[in-house]
Amino acid sequence: MKTFVSYLSDYAQKNNISLSLISVIETIVEACIEISNQVRLGDLSGILGEAGTGNIQGEQQKKLDVLANHILIEQLSNNKKVAGIASEEEDNFVCLNSEQEYLVLFDPLDGSSNIDVNISIGTIFSILRKSGEKLEEKHFLQAGKEQVAAGYVLYGPQSILVLSFGQEVLMFTLNDKQDFIPNTQVVSIPNQTQEFAINMSNQRYWEPPMQQYIHGLLQGKEGERQKDYNMRWVASMVAEVHRILIRGGIFLYPKDSRETTQNGKLRLLYEANPMSFIVQAAGGKASSLASDILDIKPQKLHQRIPVVLGASEEVDFVEQLHMN
């Protein structure tokens, strides 16, 4: 039996987690191993570049976006526990086994602008439960705190699976036998940080409190924060969140004055919610600056939301600036 499968079944037994949920996670992980293999081949398999199609987000799809989406839907359609899926790359939800218990929501390949330049990308997934009735869109529109599990696979120098059922964060590394091996490190986000992640090129569009916050960081030791900060921006949320899980930090994608990002850029259901679930399980905080992200009742499948997540005291500081 594969190490990952035996580890997860032991974990399920110890933590009273349903074997149906474990089977859904195993299906997602199998799909991500297939995606990892395709990502690693890059130009050798002719899957780089544009697909020549667009998605409901108004974004040009990459060939790998379309392929990753197809792999996940095909694998999940074979799991009889999955009622349906919602994907960044699908206009509407896809019904699979309507009366079944689990819903899987995903961004099949987050950060796909990085694909052709060989920078880390990833698959983000969120799992919800539903009652036995016929599947409708309303079943997907649950607050993030209702998630029964969430995770991502980061396709970087290593392929790393991060998974949480809400209490702690589990981490696994894909070995050369296509098996995810449990990592030994404990995942915990420090309350304070000296590293922030934001796309500075959008600065002129931010609201004044966000301008004030970032200005304070850039002033360093001489400024009100009285310490120097470092900045990172990978333009791949999975990579930014992973860095924060490993060495701390704060990630910000605020709303701004542009029409397309007046509610932020990141999607609530399959980016912000799963990442917030993981960050909070690791002792961090995730806020839309109007509320905890996990408390937000979604109104639409592809709803966008401002995201500020990571070191809890730093997120508190940003929230405070926006309340004054």
- Cβ closest to ligand P6P, residue 113 vs residue 291: 113
Give min distance, CB of 152 to ligand P6P, in A. Answer: 11
List of residues 6+ apart from 278 with CB closer than 8 A: 150, 151, 152, 162, 164, 169, 241, 245
Give min distance, CB of 153 to ligand P6P, in A. Answer: 14
Query: Which residue intervals of the chain are DSSP H helices?
Result: 3-14, 19-41, 63-77, 208-218, 237-247, 273-281, 312-323
Contacting residues toward ligand P6P, per CB under 6 A: 110-111, 113, 199, 235-237, 253, 265-266
Give min distance, CB of 32 to ligand P6P, in A. Answer: 16
Per-residue DSSP letters for 207-245? -HHHHHHHHHHHTGGGSTT-S--EEE--S-HHHHHHHHH
Residue 185 in tokens: 């490190």
Do residues 248 and 210 make contact, with C-beta atoms less than 8 angstroms apart?
no
- Cβ closest to ligand P6P, residue 16 vs residue 201: 201
| CA angle (269 as vertex; 267, 272 as ends), nearest 5 | 60
- Cβ closest to ligand P6P, residue 266 vs residue 294: 266
Give min distance, CB of 51 to ligand P6P, in A. Answer: 15
Give min distance, CB of 296 to ligand P6P, in A. Answer: 18
- Cβ closest to ligand P6P, residue 27 vs residue 236: 236
- Cβ closest to ligand P6P, residue 101 vs residue 256: 256
Residue type, 281: A
Residue of minimal Cβ distance to ligand P6P: 237
Burial classification of residue 230, based on how many CB atoms lie within 10 Å of its CB (0-12 exposed, 13-18 middle, 19 or more buried):
exposed
Give min distance, CB of 206 to ligand P6P, in A. Answer: 13
- Cβ closest to ligand P6P, residue 139 vs residue 304: 304
